[in-house]
Amino acid sequence: MRDNPFPVHWPLTPELDLEQKIDVEIRMREGTTRLLAACRHQTQTLEAAKSLHTSNERMSAYMAELQRRRRAPARTLSQSTPSTARVSVSDLRMPLMWRDTDHFKNKGDHRRFAVFVLTRIGTQILDSTLLCPVDRSLTDLTYPDVHVFNNVPTDFELRLEIWGHVMQDDMSIASTPHKIKRSIHSSISRTVGKKLAASLRDELNTGRIGPNFELMASAHLSLDDVGDSVHTHDLQLENVEPRSHQLPLFGHFCCRLAAQPDCVSREAYSGNALLLESSGVWTQMHGALQAFRLDLWRSLNDKEAAKKPAKTVTVDRDTLIQPGKSGSREILISNVIEGCDNVVILKAGSAEEQHKWIRNLTQHSKDHLRWKQAALEKMEIQSPGSNRNFVRQLRQGSLYDETPLIESVQTEFANHRPTVQDIFGLTPASSLSSCASSSSSPTFRERSHSNSKPRPNSGTIRSHWPFSRNNHD
C-alpha cells in the first residue's frame, strides 16, 4: 500500500504556520521565475513580474514576522481577548495629472505605464489588477478589486502602495519615424545581440529578471479613516529616478475603508442564566452576546428556531457591568435610558459562570469603545470576487468632472458646491476625455465662453483653483 502523498497535519503553531507560508512563497517564486523567462508577450511578462514582486513582498513580510516572534518574550494568555475585525478596501481611484496638451490634444507625453496596487496589514499582503497601458488618455486609475483582511486588531495600520513600471520600449519608439524603427529591428541581432544576451545572463544570475516595478507612492490608513462611504486620502509621492519614470499622480486617492468587528458578525459568548423579572421571580433564560447587545430567550430551542428574543439588553461603551453582593452570583447590567438608570439583574449557575459572564460582558463593552465608528454603524464587507462598486454605479465621466471648482456662490449653486458640469453646462455623459476625442466638438475654452452669459442677481464668485499662484484664500 502506497503512502499518502498528502499527510494529515495537526493544528500548527503560529511559527510553523509562517514557515509553511514562506515555503509556499518560495515555490511560487521559483515557478513564476521560470514562467517569466519563458514569456514572449509583453502582457504575460508584466503579469508574471507582478506575481513575482508580490510573492517577494509576502515572503519578506513572513520572514520578518517570524524573526520578531522568535525574539519576543513568551506572553501569558489574557483572561479576555479583544475582538478582531474584517477590514475591506474597495472603490479605489487615483487621479492622474497630465498637461493639457498631453490629454486634450493627445500629443507630447508618450510615456506608458503598467500599474498595480499592494495593500498590506501585518503579514497579509493583497495585490490588485494590473492596469496596462496607463497613458495620457486616462485621467484616473480605477480598480475594481475588493481587498478583505481577516483577524485585524483595532490598532491596525493599512499601508497602500502604488507600484509602476514605465514601458521603455514604447516610450523610446513612440515618436521614432518608421524607417528608423525598421533599422532598429533589423540591426539589433547583428550589433547588440551578444551584449543583450550577456545582460540577460547577468540579470538571471543576480536574481533580477523581467520588468522591474518601482514604488511610486504610498499611504497609511488606520481605524480613524474607517467609514461606510468613499473618502479622499493623501498620497505620499516617492522620488523616482529618473524623473521620466515617475507616474503623474495628483497626490490624493479615493477609497472605501470599511471594518466590521467579529463580535458583530458572530456570537461573542452564550450561556444560561436566571433573569430577575419585574415581579420579583427568577426565570431561566438562554443568553447570546452579539452586536453589542445581550439577547435573552426562554430556551435554547427558541433561539435555534429564530424566534424573537424575550428581552434585549444593550451592552455598549456606556454600559456598566458589576457583580452583585458577595456570594450571590448576581450580575448587574446598567444602562441610562431617557435619563433614568435601567438595571437588569442576572444570576449565574456558579461562581465560575458568573466570572465568565462578567468577563465577556466587560470585554464586549470595551470593544464597542475600541472600534469607534465601526461599532456605531454596521458596515458592509464586500466579497473579494464581487463587482459591485458603491461609487462607480453613480459616476459617469472623469474624476475631474466631479471636482468642485468654486468655493462660495450666491446664485442657483448656493445650496451645493458646483462641479465642472454645473458651471459649463455639460451633461454627465460628456466627460473631459470625450470632449477631446472628437475634433468636431467645441473645445473646453469655447464651451466656457458660450456659457458665460451674465445671470440675473448673480453674486460674487470667488474661484478656488488649487494651482493658482494668486490664490490667497
Give pLDDT tens digits for 377-406.
999 998 886 554 433 333 434 555 555 544
CA gap 263, 80 in Å, rounded: 13
Q: How far apart are CA 389 and CA 62, in angstroms?
A: 32
Distance separating alpha carbons of residues 451 and 226, to the nearest angstrom = 40
Kindly tell me if the per-residue pLDDT of 197 is higher than 70: no
**Integer Cα distance of 179 and 334 in angstroms:** 85
Of the listed ranges 217-221, 284-288, 441-445, the least confidently predicted one is 441-445
Mean pLDDT of 87-95: 95
Domain with CATH 2.30.29.30 in the chain: 267-375
Segment holding 255, helix H or strand E: strand 252-261
Task: Supply the DSSP string of 32-96, one letter for each residue.
Answer: HHHHHHH--SHHHHHHHHHHHHHHHHHHHHHHHHHHHHHHSPP-PPPSS----EEEEEEEEEEEB
H-helix or E-strand spanning residue 185: helix 178-191
The four Cα atoms 36, 41, 45, 48 give a dihedral, to 10 degrees, of: -70
Check pLDDT > 50 for residue 451. Answer: no
83-169+197-263 CATH: 2.60.40.150
- DSSP 8-state class, residue 224: G
- pLDDT at residue number 167: 84
User: Is 90 exceeded by the pLDDT of residue 200?
Assistant: no
* pLDDT computed for residue 1 by the predictor: 41
Over range 446-450, report the average pLDDT: 42
- Split at pLDDT 50, 70, 90, the class of 331 is very high
- The grid cell for 139 is 485621467
| 376: phi then psi, degrees, rounded to nearest 5 | -80, -30
334 in Cβ contact with 320 (< 8 Å): yes
Which candidate, 391, 354, 106, 83, places its Cα nearest to that of 228?
A: 391
Question: Of 195-199, 211-215, 258-262, which range is least confident?
Answer: 195-199
Residues across the chain: 473
The most distant pair of C-alpha atoms in the chain lies apart, rounded to whole Å, by 100
Three-class SS state of 142: strand
Average confidence (pLDDT) over 110-119: 92
Nearest residue to 130 (alpha-carbon basis) of 87, 162, 175: 162
Element (H, E) at 290: strand 282-290
Contact 427, 421 (CB under 8 A): yes
Q: Which of 289, 286, 287 is nearest to 268 (CA)?
A: 289
pLDDT score of 201 more than 60:
no
SS3 label, residue 20: helix
d(CA 109, CA 135): 8
Amino acid 2: pLDDT? 43
- Report the Cα 368 to chain-centroid distance in Å: 22
Residue with cell string 517564486: 29
Residue 222, all three cell numbers? 488606520
pLDDT score for 384: 84
DSSP class of 471:
-
Q: Write down the pLDDT at residue 323.
A: 95
- pLDDT for 383 equals 84
Cα 47 from Cα 36, distance rounded (Å): 9
The model's pLDDT over 33-67, given as tens digits with 9 standing for 90+, comes to 888 888 888 889 999 999 999 999 999 999 899 88
* Contacts of residue 342, Cβ cutoff 8 Å, sequence gap at least 6: 334, 335, 336
CATH fold for domain 267-375 = PH-domain like (2.30.29)
pLDDT at 72 over 80: no
Residues carrying CATH 2.60.40.150, the chain: 83-169+197-263
The predicted structure's pLDDT at residue 16: 75
In this prediction, residues 230-235 reach a mean pLDDT of: 95
Percent of the chain past pLDDT 70, that is, above it, reads 65
The dihedral region occupied by 46, where left means phi > 0, alpha psi between -120 and 50, and beta the remainder, is alpha
SS3 113: strand
- Do residues 396 and 431 make contact, with C-beta atoms less than 8 angstroms apart? yes
Three-class SS of residue 354?
A: helix
